[in-house]
Amino acid sequence: MSKMNEQHITTGGMKMRMKIGIVGAGYVGLVSAAVFADWGHDVVCVDHDAEKIGRIRAGDLPVYEPGLADMVERNRQAGRLRFTTDLSRTAGELDLLIIAVGTPAADDGHPDLTALWNVVHSLKQCVKGDLTVAIKSTVPIGTCQAVSRFLNGHPGSRFDVVAAPEFLRQGTAIADFLSPDRVVIGCRTEAAKRKMQQLFAPLACPLLFTDWQSAEMIKYAANAFLAMKISYINTIANLCEQVGADIQQVALGIGLDRRIGPAYLQPGIGFGGSCLPKDTQAIVALGKDYGVDVSLFREVLRVNREQRGRIVQKLADRLGGVQGKTIAVLGLAFKANTNDVREAPALDIITRIVQAGGEVVAYDPAVNMESLKNDFCFTPAADAYQAVTGADAVVILTEWEEFHGLDLQQIRSLMRHPLVIDGRNLYAPHMMKQHGFHYVPVGVPEQEVAEAAATTV
Ligand code: UGA
């Protein structure tokens, strides 16, 4: 526990050490639980999945997140963090209950709120007194209101519902949680506002208090904006390939304009993960529900799908089709520093290669490849060198640090053909050319790659 955090829990005259329950032991739940415990609160993390809780208790976290395992262990040993499957035994004693269960996309694009409502129903059964309930799960606009109505449906029940959307990213979750740009809180009472001010006191960022609906909307609007920025830069990158411009220079030039900013201007294979695709779909579904034209976001999703197809097209164009060709895929996770493959562009790209008759050998340093190899029809490799051996082409789909440091000379010597389709722009084009590769990054015309090599030799 840091000095700042010791102060946080001992100053101010109010009861600073809270008893916090967190339901959902996924990314958001585990990170929140670990950090709040680290700040000195007494935290119990609840998940109905007994196997998951058993694994966590044995020190085997279900998610790969830098720094999380150490933080969980440290706080468990200090007695500030517990894991259980039983909400009813602890819910009655809590100062604050945070709901952080998953809200995956249903077939119609709306989020599936089954897990959230299961928690809310059990809460109503097991808590009779006062309780502040903060919803951290990403939920459709109107959910806090509906939950509050349901929980307070009986005379005597006093549940104070708070919208507490989370903005952390997988892979940098703890750092993001500890230094966010802002914390958004949607609440209706002064008591809830004070409690959340108390909870987030260790953070130096602005706390923005809004109504429920605005807080819920901010989360969707933020993710849809990021998705839009990525589809935008990918579209510009595709143009750059045709007109002879270099997307890295173009992105730099755009990003220096403070009205635009440099973040989320990295072109590539399109966005994946459990949030950006799902939340953009949810905005589209919302537009349909309310009769608002949200075709902008439909287009963002379409551009995103096409971007995956472009990688396969680039392969096919250079190899004369992928039928019978062996393609080495480096990286399966939807981005670096996570083992998550939900909506991972890599899995979609592998499927397209296999459907076109190619054979895929894949490697990822963190993803459990054995559990995916049959469904996605690829052969797992023990490392990048094994993956590229005898390959007709290498496709780079995740920006793992490990891939930056590969011995390119060795990679070149192991491949049957020296074609590298880089979906993450990991390497300097001139260096790849010097190593004898036919290098195809995103947003840089092949002519430029060749000229860069010629001018730097
Ligand atoms: C995203 C948001 O960034 C978080 O603020 C939010 O809290 C989270 O969703 C959520 O709703 O829970 P995350 O899904 O972890 O976080 O991933 P990002 O780092 O945003 O990346 C999403 C995808 O966009 C990845 O596939 C990444 O490779 C891609 N990306 C990102 C690009 O292609 N280019 C970029 O410039 C940035």
168 confidence band (pLDDT: 50, 70, 90): very high
CA 82 to ligand 1 center in whole angstroms: 30
In a domain, 298, yes or no: yes
Confidence at residue 121, expressed as pLDDT on a 0 to 100 scale: 95
Instruction: Determine the residue type at 35.
Output: V
215 domain-assigned: no
pLDDT at 156: 78
In a domain, 48, yes or no: yes
Measure Cα distances from 198 to 4, 15, 451 in Å: 13, 9, 58
**442 Cβ closer than 6 Å to some ligand 1 atom:** no
The reply to whether 256 and 203 lie within a common domain is no
Residue 16 is part of a domain; what is its CATH number? 3.40.50.720
Asked if the structure places residue 234 within a domain, the reply is no
Q: Which of the residues are catalytic?
A: 275
Query: What would the mean pLDDT of 126-134 be, rounded to a whole number?
Result: 90
User: Is residue 255 assigned to a domain?
Assistant: yes
Helices vs strands, H then E, count in the chain: 20, 14
- Whether residues 255 and 383 share a domain: the answer is yes
164 CB within 6 A, ligand 1: no
Question: Helix (H, G, I), strand (E, B), or coil: what is residue 163?
Answer: strand
Given a cut of 90, whether residue 7 has pLDDT beyond it is: no
- Strand locations in 141-241, DSSP E? 158-163, 183-186, 207-210
Last residue of a domain, one of 161, 194, 210: 210
Q: Is the pLDDT of residue 165 over 90?
A: yes
Co-location of 351 and 296 in the same domain = yes
Query: Has residue 218 been placed in a domain?
Result: no
Among candidate residues 189, 210, 231, the one where a domain is terminated: 210
**Ligand 1 atom nearest residue 272's Cα:** 26
Domain carrying residue 115: 3-210
Q: Is the CB of 227 under 6 A from ligand 1?
A: no
Average pLDDT over residues 86-112: 91
Best probe residue, ligand 1, of 68, 276, 348 (max atoms within 8 Å of C-beta): 276
| Cβ-contact 135, 163 below 8 angstroms | yes
Residue 232: inside a domain: no
Q: Judge if 381 and 444 occupy the same domain.
A: yes
pLDDT of residue 127: 86
pLDDT bin (cut points 50, 70, 90) of residue 331 is very high
Mean pLDDT of 225-248: 97
Average pLDDT over residues 110-137: 93
179 and 204 in contact (C-beta within 8 Å)?
yes
Q: Is the CB of residue 297 below 6 angstroms from any atom belonging to ligand 1?
A: no
Same domain membership, residue 252 and residue 173:
no
Reduced to 3 DSSP states, what percent helix, strand and coil does the chain have, rounded to the nearest 5?
45, 15, 40
For residues 229 and 327, give the distance between their C-alpha atoms in angstroms, rounded to a whole number.
30
229 CB under 6 A from ligand 1? Answer: no
Mean pLDDT value of segment 372-381: 97
- Is residue 363 within 8 A of residue 394, CB to CB? The reply is no
CA–centroid distance, 151 to ligand 1, in Å, is 33
Burial of 150 (0-12, 13-18, 19+ CB in 10 A): middle
**Nearest-atom index, ligand 1, CA of 28:** 12
Radius of gyration of the chain (CA): 24
Q: Tell me the CA distances in angstroms from 203 to 115, 158, 176, 177, 196, one per residue in order.
A: 30, 29, 11, 9, 12
Give domain status of residue 200, yes or no: yes
Q: What is the pLDDT of residues 396-428, one digit of tens each?
A: 999 999 999 999 999 999 999 999 999 999 999
Is there a single domain that holds both residue 149 and residue 253?
Answer: no
Confidence of residue 431 (pLDDT cuts 50, 70, 90): very high
How many structural domains is the chain composed of? 2
Task: Tell which of 210, 233, 255 closes a domain.
Answer: 210
263 with 232: CB under 8 angstroms?
A: no
Alpha-carbon distance of 134 to 319, in angstroms, equals: 54
